[in-house]
Structure 1
Amino acid sequence: MQDLNDLICFARVVRFGGFAAAERATGERKSKLSKRVTRLEQYFGTRLIERSTRSFRVTDMGREVYRQCEAIVDRLEATEALAMTAKDEVRGTVRVSCSSGMMEYLGRDALVDFMRRYPQVRLQLLLSSQRVDLINERIDVAFRVATRFDTDQSLAMRSLGVSARILVASPELLAAQGGEPLQLEQLAAFPTLSVGELLERDRWEFANDSGETRAHAHVPHFSCGDMQLLCESAVAGMGVVLLPEHVCGPELKRGRLMHILPEWHAVEGNIHMVFTTPKGMLPPVRAFIDHCVEVFAERR
Structure 2
Amino acid sequence: MLDLNDLRLFALIVENKGIGRASRTLNQAKSTISRRLAALEYQLKASLIDRDRDDFTLTQKGEEVYQLSRTILEAGLLVEATLANEQTKLNGNINLSLSSLFVPVFTHIAAELTQTHPGIRLNIAVNDDTNIQAQDGYDLYWRAHGQQLADSALKQQKLARHPLQVVASPLYVKRKGLPYSPEALVHFDMLGFEHTQRTNQLSFSSGNSFTTTVDYLPKLRSANIDLLLHNVLASVGCAVLPAYSCAPYLANGLLVDILPDWQAESLTISLLKRPLAYQTPMVTTVSGLIERSVRQHFALVAKTEQGVATLLRPVAAKLSYTAPSIRLSPHDALQFMPETNVTSGENLMNPIFKAVGAAVIGASTLLSMPAYADDTPGPVVVYTNDFEDVLRDRFKTDTGRDAEIVQMSGGELLARIAAEASNPQWDIIIFNGSNALQALDDKGQLKRMVEPRNLANLNEIGQKQLPQTKAWFPIGLAASCVLAYRKDMTETPPASFEDLANEKYAGKVGMADPAVAAPAYPCVAQLFYAMGDEKARAMFGGYFNNGLRVFRTNGPVGRALEAGDISVALLTSQVAYTLKNKGAPIEILWPDNGAPGSVRGVGIQAKTKRPEAAQTFVEWMLEPTTQKYLQDSSGADGLFEATVTGAGRRADGPPEGSIYSVAPAAFAAKQEEAIKSWFADQAVR
**TM tier, smaller:** 0.5 to 0.7
CA shift, 1:129, in A, is 3.0
Identify unmatched segments of 5+ residues in structure 1: 1-59, 69-73
- For the 8 Å contact 1:140–1:275, the answer to whether it is kept is yes
Query: What is the DSSP-based 3-state SS (H/G/I as helix, E as strand, rest coil) of the residue aligned with 1:233?
Result: helix
Query: What is the DSSP-based 3-state SS (H/G/I as helix, E as strand, rest coil) of the residue aligned with 2:276?
Result: coil
Q: Does 1:93 align with 2:109?
A: no
Distance across 2 between alignment mates of 1:80 and 1:67? 25
Q: Tell me the equivalent position of 2:82.
A: 82
Distance across 2 between alignment mates of 1:129 and 1:147? 11
TM-aligned CA distance change 1:181 to 1:277, over 3 Å: same
- For the 8 Å contact 1:169–1:259, the answer to whether it is kept is yes
Distance across 2 between alignment mates of 1:88 and 1:201? 45
Q: Tell me the equivalent position of 2:236.
A: 238
Identify unmatched segments of 5+ residues in structure 2: 1-20, 30-72, 302-685
TM-aligned CA distance change 1:162 to 1:219, over 3 Å: closer
Q: Tell me the equivalent position of 2:675.
A: none
Distance across 2 between alignment mates of 1:85 and 1:294? 27
Q: Give the AA of the match of 2:264.
A: A
Q: Tell me the equivalent position of 2:127.
A: 128
Q: Tell me the equivalent position of 1:272.
A: 270
CA shift, 1:64, in A, is 7.1
Distance across 2 between alignment mates of 1:154 and 1:239? 41
**1:173-227 Cα deviation digits (max 9, x unpaired):** 21221x3323334323211122449x99822211111121122214321123434
TM-aligned CA distance change 1:203 to 1:85, over 3 Å: farther
Query: What is the DSSP-based 3-state SS (H/G/I as helix, E as strand, rest coil) of the residue aligned with 1:210?
Result: coil
Q: Does 1:175 align with 2:174?
A: yes
TM-aligned CA distance change 1:139 to 1:87, over 3 Å: closer
CA shift, 1:163, in A, is 0.6
Distance across 2 between alignment mates of 1:260 and 1:147? 21
CA shift, 1:127, in A, is 2.1
Q: Give the AA of the match of 1:113.
A: E
CA shift, 1:156, in A, is 0.6
Q: Tell me the equivalent position of 2:185.
A: 187
Q: Give the AA of the match of 1:258.
A: V
TM-aligned CA distance change 1:152 to 1:119, over 3 Å: same
- For the 8 Å contact 1:206–1:215, the answer to whether it is kept is yes
Q: Tell me the equivalent position of 2:115.
A: 116
TM-aligned CA distance change 1:121 to 1:163, over 3 Å: same
TM-aligned CA distance change 1:281 to 1:87, over 3 Å: closer
Q: Give the AA of the match of 2:286.
A: F
Distance across 1 between alignment mates of 2:25 and 2:238? 52
- For the 8 Å contact 2:140–2:272, the answer to whether it is kept is yes
CA shift, 1:145, in A, is 1.8
- For the 8 Å contact 2:90–2:281, the answer to whether it is kept is yes
Query: What is the DSSP-based 3-state SS (H/G/I as helix, E as strand, rest coil) of the residue aligned with 1:262?
Result: coil
5 Å-filtered alignment, 1:1-300, equals 63=24, 66=27, 81-83=81-83, 88-104=88-104, 106-131=105-130, 133-150=132-149, 152-177=151-176, 179-196=177-194, 202-298=200-296, 300=301
- Aligned residue pairs total 232
CA root-mean-square deviation? 3.4
Q: Give the AA of the match of 1:181.
A: P
- For the 8 Å contact 2:101–2:144, the answer to whether it is kept is no
Q: Give the AA of the match of 1:187.
A: L
Distance across 1 between alignment mates of 2:130 and 2:179? 34
Q: Give the AA of the match of 1:119.
A: P
**1:78-99 Cα deviation digits (max 9, x unpaired):** 7874345687421111111122
Q: Give the AA of the match of 2:290.
A: C
CA shift, 1:248, in A, is 2.6
Q: Which protein has greater RCO, CA pairs closer than 8 Å, 6+ apart? A: 1
Distance across 2 between alignment mates of 1:200 and 1:293? 27
Distance across 2 between alignment mates of 1:200 and 1:101? 17
CA shift, 1:67, in A, is 5.5
- For the 8 Å contact 1:206–1:267, the answer to whether it is kept is yes
Distance across 1 between alignment mates of 2:189 and 2:235? 9
CA shift, 1:261, in A, is 1.0
Distance across 2 between alignment mates of 1:224 and 1:272? 20
Q: Give the AA of the match of 2:27.
A: Y
- TM-score of the pair, normalised by structure 1: 0.65
Q: Give the AA of the match of 1:145.
A: A
Query: What is the DSSP-based 3-state SS (H/G/I as helix, E as strand, rest coil) of the residue aligned with 1:174?
Result: helix
Q: Give the AA of the match of 2:250.
A: L
Distance across 1 between alignment mates of 2:116 and 2:25? 40
Q: Give the AA of the match of 1:170.
A: S
Distance across 1 between alignment mates of 2:85 and 2:206? 49
CA shift, 1:165, in A, is 0.9
- For the 8 Å contact 2:97–2:124, the answer to whether it is kept is yes
Query: What is the DSSP-based 3-state SS (H/G/I as helix, E as strand, rest coil) of the residue aligned with 1:90?
Result: coil
- For the 8 Å contact 1:159–1:272, the answer to whether it is kept is yes
User: Computing the radius of gyration over CA atoms, which structure comes out larger, 1 or 2?
Assistant: 2
TM-aligned CA distance change 1:66 to 1:235, over 3 Å: farther
TM-aligned CA distance change 1:67 to 1:287, over 3 Å: farther
